[in-house]
Every structure is written in C-alpha cells, then in structure tokens.
Amino acid sequence: MDTRVDLGDLPVDTSAPVLVTGATGYVAGWIVKGLLDAGATVHAAVRDPGNTDKVRHLLAAADASPGTLRLFASDLLQDGSYREAMQDCRTVIHTASPFIRTVRDPQRDLVDPAVHGTRNVLNTATEVASVERVVLTSSIAAMVGDAQDVQRLPGRIVTEETWNTTSSLTHEPYSYSKTLAEREAWTIAQAQDRWRLVTVNPGLVIGPSLNPDPTSESFAIARQMASGEARFGAPRIALAVVDVREVAYAHLAAAFLPEAKGRHLVVAETTDIVDLGRRLLPAYGATLGLPRRAVPKPLAVALAPVIKLPRAYVRRNIGFDLRSDTTKSRRALGVRYRPAQQSMEEMVGQLVASKTPKN
Ligand code: NAP
C-alpha cells in the first residue's frame, strides 16, 4: 500500500506555514501528511486539539516526517476562530465541512457549517495579509445532484462548467450544502484581489484512511462490502470515484502550481457498487458477502431505506451513466489516477483488518 502522497516534482513551498482546516478529516489527513513529508509547517485547524483519538494519526505523521505540525482550535460556526491559525500562512486549504448523509436538520447540520464556515474562513483570508491562495475542497456534488443534471449537459458529460441545479434542503441536502458553499466561495474571492481561489471537486473519495476510526461518509460503501449487507444484490447507481491520495495530490498541486486556477473535477473512473463488489471477488470473494448482482429498479426503490439511501435518489439515478471529463485535472494539475479496484481493495482490507482480533 502507498503510504505516501506521490508529489513528483511539485514545487511545495516550505518557506511559510500552510493552514489546513478540518485536519482531522479523511481527505485532510492525507493532505497534511503530504505537506509534512515535503518538509512543510502545517497549521492544522481542528475542533478539539485535546481529542487525542482524532489527532493521534496526525502527530504520528509529523513524528515520522521532516515537517512540523501545529494544532489550533477552530470551529466553522465561530467567526474569527481561524485567524490565529492563518497567521503568516500564504496558503489556506479549506477542507472542513460535514460529509454525512443522515442528518436531522439539513440546514443546521449541513448547510450552516458548509456555507457559514466557508464565509468564516475566506473572510479571514481577506483580513490576513500573508494569504495568497485558498484551495477549497468542493465536490462533484456541487456539479451534479442527480442524473437530471447530467441529462441536460452537452454530450451528457460533467465538466468544470457544470453546476448542480437539482439539490435542495429536502432533496440531497449534502450536495446542496456543497453547491451553496462553493458559490459563496467564488463570490467572496471575486470581491477581493489579493488571494486566488482554486477548487478541487472530487468524486466519491475511496482508499485507505490514516485515521483508524474514520467518520467520512466515504466509508459507507466499504462498510457495506465488508459487512455482507449487500450480498443479495445492490442498486446500480453510477459512482464517480477517486483515490484519496490523488485527491490530496490535487489539493497540493492546486496550492503550489503557479498557474493553477478555477475548478478541477477529480475523478478516476465511474463504477457502481455491484461492479466494485465483482472486482473485489479475487481478493475477498471467499471471506466477504460482496454484492454480485444488480437489484431491479422497483425492488431497489422499495428497499432504499434499508441501504440508507433516499427513495427519490434511487428512483432518479438508477440506470443512468455518469461521464466525467477530467482533462483539466490531468493537464493542469498533473493528476495520475490509479484504478478504483486498488483503492477499494486497500480500503476494504483496512476495515477487515480493524475487525480481525489481534493475538
Ligand atoms: P470527514 O472525514 O468527516 O471530514 C470532515 C471534516 O470537517 C472533519 O475534520 C470535521 O471535524 C470537520 N468539521 C465538520 N464540522 C465542523 C465544524 N463545525 N467546525 C470545524 N470543523 C468541522 O469527511 P471527508 O470525506 O474527509 O470530507 C472532507 C471534505 O471533502 C469535505 O469538504 C467534503 O465535502 C469533501 N469531499 C469529500 C468527498 C468524499 O467522498 N469523502 C468527496 C468530495 C468532497 P471533526 O473531526 O471535529 O468532526
């Protein structure tokens, strides 16, 4: 397993600290590790620096690297709470945003932290004179909400021009939160001219986690695979996926390549749960109850709540392809994508190992 982010000849600037918000997260963990391995000083903004379970893997990465880690207490909903962490930083990488699917109050639990948090971090960037670039972790979810968005696209291909027009507080609120947050980021960026905004818009991120107890919704599918929950079949809903190490690389390229600008769709390939399950058969077919066949649409819609997916989402997305044009990420950022099978095998392998009793 690759335990490093392959930075190639990326010109990582180690002369000023780099702020990473949401540093405890799955995606941020690999960004922080990439920076530390390159010898940078990372200002890691986390909600609770004293929560050792959440920061242990970051401290371990710092110990094993030439870089330096400093933890700061910051909350998306507390205005000004990123100011101290941002001091002297030329680069801000804003990843913090809740990625959870099941919420009680979508406005309070998703939209407020995503949008208010983006405003909070980016307004502080405007106040702190050292900041020259802000990289925002947006998402393919800010580009497409469901298959209806894709149907109206030229050639039905998602590109950096595409915006999600279908999500709302009541339909796919996570995607709605990401759309509103990215739109807000562009508005704030355009109102000033010192720092440049660059966004990274990944598909569903897969691959191993540095934190042994990940909270990201990314792990829902891998857990389904490892638990045998989908052994009788699963709905074939197109998933655009990408390895977490490529996502980390894309953030660092967006941060340090002088010419990087605009949005970047970061996707390795389109697959679905059944396809991923079949591809895991050689490694795990004998031990795990993997999904091997597609559930017909009417049954999938009826069973949607069992697999924790909204019925409307299943109804509107089964049977549609999702094609992404990733030319810009490859050419402008230099992303080289590994196959999804490798990422998924490592992700599932990690979950299986964490449940295997140790002698
Ligand atoms: P994650 O592991 O759950 O990370 C989310 C991070 O946001 C955590 O560090 C969390 O801090 C922080 N956060 C949440 N609410 C906060 C608040 N009120 N104040 C401060 N920090 C807060 O999920 P992830 O998958 O790494 O997601 C990271 C980013 O990538 C998000 O912007 C997400 O939208 C984006 N993204 C993810 C995927 C994917 O498939 N994973 C795909 C596209 C985009 P705590 O640890 O304290 O909760």
pLDDT value for 215? 86
The residue among 5, 65, 70 whose CA lies nearest residue 42 is: 70
Provide the pLDDT confidence category of residue 357 given band limits of 50, 70 and 90: low
pLDDT value for 299? 92
pLDDT value for 335? 98
Rounded-to-integer distance, Cα 298 and Cα 82, Å: 48
The answer, yes or no, to whether any atom of ligand 1 lies below 6 A from the CB of 215, is: yes
Share of the chain above pLDDT 90, in %: 85
What φ, ψ does residue 281 adopt, rounded to 5°?
Answer: -55, -45
pLDDT tens per residue across span 79-106: 999 999 999 999 999 999 999 988 999 9
Find the 336 Cα to ligand 1 centroid distance in Å.
Answer: 24
Domains and CATH numbers, the chain: 18-354 (3.40.50.720)
pLDDT tens per residue across span 137-153: 999 999 999 888 898 89
Find the 25 Cα to ligand 1 centroid distance in Å.
Answer: 5
| Helix, strand, or coil (residue 5) | coil
> Strands 41-46, 133-137: parallel, antiparallel or unpaired by DSSP?
unpaired
Find the 212 Cα to ligand 1 centroid distance in Å.
Answer: 16
Query: Which residue's CA lies nearest to atom 17 of ligand 1?
Result: 76
The answer, yes or no, to whether any atom of ligand 1 lies below 6 A from the CB of 279, is: no
- pTM, two decimal places: 0.97
pLDDT value for 75? 98
The answer, yes or no, to whether any atom of ligand 1 lies below 6 A from the CB of 220, is: no
pLDDT, mean over the chain = 95
The answer, yes or no, to whether any atom of ligand 1 lies below 6 A from the CB of 22, is: yes
Find the 95 Cα to ligand 1 centroid distance in Å.
Answer: 6
The answer, yes or no, to whether any atom of ligand 1 lies below 6 A from the CB of 178, is: yes
Give the H/E segment covering residue 335.
none
Which numbered atom of ligand 1 lies nearest the CA of 113? 18
Q: Does residue 35 carry a pLDDT above 90?
A: yes
pLDDT value for 307? 75
Annotate 89-132 with DSSP letters as a single string: -SEEEE------S--S-HIIIIIIIIIIHHHHHHHHHHHSTT--
The residue among 251, 266, 247, 241 whose CA lies nearest residue 339 is: 241
Rounded-to-integer distance, Cα 335 and Cα 21, Å: 22
pLDDT tens per residue across span 221-273: 889 888 998 898 899 999 999 999 999 999 999 999 999 999 999 999 999 99
Q: Does residue 359 carry a pLDDT above 50?
A: no
For 5-11, what is the mean pLDDT? Answer: 96
What is the set of active-site residues?
Answer: 178
Residue of 107, 174, 216 to test ligand 1 pocket, by largest number of atoms within 8 Å of CB: 216
